[in-house]
Amino acid sequence: MTATLERPSETVEVKKKRPVTPARVALHVFLVLTCLMTLAPLLWAVYASLRTYEDTSVNGYFSIAKSLTFENFAKAWEIGDLPHFYWNTFLITVPALVITLVLSSMVAFGVSRFSFKFNIALLMLFTAGNLLPQQVIVTPLWRLYRLIELPAWVSESESLIDSPLGVILIHIAFQMGFCTFVLSNYMKTIPYELTEAARVDGASVFRQYWQLTLPLCRPVLAALATLEFTWIYNDFLWALVLIQDGDKMPVTSALQNLKGTFFTDNNLIAAGSLLVALPTLVVFFVLQRQFVGGLTLGSTKG
């Protein structure tokens, strides 16, 4: 099938006159089926979430629904105490995201605008750090967090363990690698004369960074913000290990608690899972270009 499709160059003119060839139709059919199969697990979860426990326990899940209802969502929202866990996630995600972008843009600026001997070594350090499996650092980190004492007004637990601050810090430290890599690649494409001219005009290093370079980086920053939001929101391991009080967990890790709360009501689990997925799905639909762009930048510019 594909063999006939891959010779479009020789038949460009013919194609324009007759856009509907059997090969094209086959291609579309194949793609539609693949897309449906990709979406099927999610659609199945939506379907299950809209049915009542009574309906599915009698008729099974593989049946025509007697009635559809949003009851499960309301129930999951309440029993799972979702607003509370969304808030926990918010408290971690927003500061982590902002600080990661600020710090990594600073490093990227320094490395791409000035020539130091250690430029490449520094970039390599950040890039490599971001690629490590989290498990390599998690045990000492967990112990380190328990060692660091904090005043009660900074952290209720008086240490970094069991505190949103601890999770924020590791997100920043870990995610900085990827952002620095992407941002420095981007900043290298900004004409050198620009900061040179600003410098001649007497602009300080900080002004060259804050007022000149950062505004030019808006598209990458938007892409990275989208991507980092999803990644930090989706984090499961850091919070699971570094937060022991179930009440302080972000929503993704709290799912584990919800599983117990919902006993074996799969319809409720489906509704709860979809509610947890909702923010990332919204971000994906609204900011898909940024999301895809960020991932592409991180890979092909290497």
Partner 1 sequence: MTAVQEKPKAVAPSGPPPRRRGKRATALAGTDTLVLALMLGIPTIVHLLFVWIPALGSVALSLSRWNGIGGLEDIEWIGVANYVEIFTEYPRFWPAVQHNLIWLLFLLVVPTSVGLLLAVLLDRELRFSRIYQSALYLPMVLSLALVGFIWQLIYTPDGGLLNSVLGLGDDPVDWIGDSDVNLYAVLVAAAWRHTGYIMLLYLAGLKSVDPALKEAAALDGASATQTFFRVTFPVMKPVNIVVAVVTVIEALRAFDIVYVINKGRNGLELLSVLVTDNIIGEASRIGRGSAVAVILLTISLGVIIPYLYQVFSKENRT
- Residues in region 225-244 near partner 1 by CB under 8 A: 230, 233-237, 240-241
CA distance 203 to 234: 40
Q: How far is the CB of 152 from partner 1 (least distance, A)?
A: 22
Pick the binder of partner 1 from 163, 165, 186, 214 (CB under 8 A): 186
Q: Could you say whether residue 91 binds partner 1 (CB under 8 A)?
A: no
Cβ neighbors of 210 (< 8 A, separation 6 or more) are none
Rank residues 68 and 120 by Cβ distance to partner 1 and give the closer one.
120
Q: Which of residues 8-67 bind partner 1 (CB under 8 A)?
A: 8-10, 27-28, 30-32, 34-35, 38-39, 41-42, 44-45, 48, 56, 60-62
Q: Tell me the one-letter amino acid at 119.
A: N
- Please count the other Cβ atoms lying within 10 Å of the Cβ belonging to residue 6: 8
How many chain residues bind partner 1 (CB under 8 A)?
Answer: 119
- Strand ranges in 3-77 using DSSP code E only, listed in sequence order: none
Q: Which of 180, 214, 221, 248 binds partner 1 (CB under 8 A)?
A: 180
Residues 97-116 that bind partner 1 (CB under 8 A): 103-104, 106-107, 109-111, 113-116
Q: Rule CB under 8 A: say whether 144 interacts with partner 1.
A: yes
- List, in order, residues 6 or more apart from 177 with CB less than 8 Å away: 126, 127, 128, 129, 130, 131
Map the footprint of partner 1 across residues 253-282, applying CB under 8 A. 253, 255-256, 259, 264, 266, 269-270, 273, 276-277, 280-281
| DSSP reduced 3-state for 119 | helix
For partner 1, the closer CB: 136 or 152: 136
Q: How far is the CB of 129 from partner 1 (least distance, A)?
A: 4
Token pair 């979809």 is at which residue?
A: 274
Helix 164-187 crosses helix 82-113 at what angle (to 10 degrees)? 40
Using the minimum distance from each CB to partner 1, give the nearer residue, 67 or 139: 139
Distance CA 162, CA 69 (A): 38
Angle at 301 between CA 5 and CA 169, to 5 degrees: 125
Output 150 or 237, the one with its CB closest to partner 1. Answer: 237
Nearer to partner 1 by Cβ, of 204 and 211: the residue is 204
Alpha carbon of residue 153 to chain centroid: 30
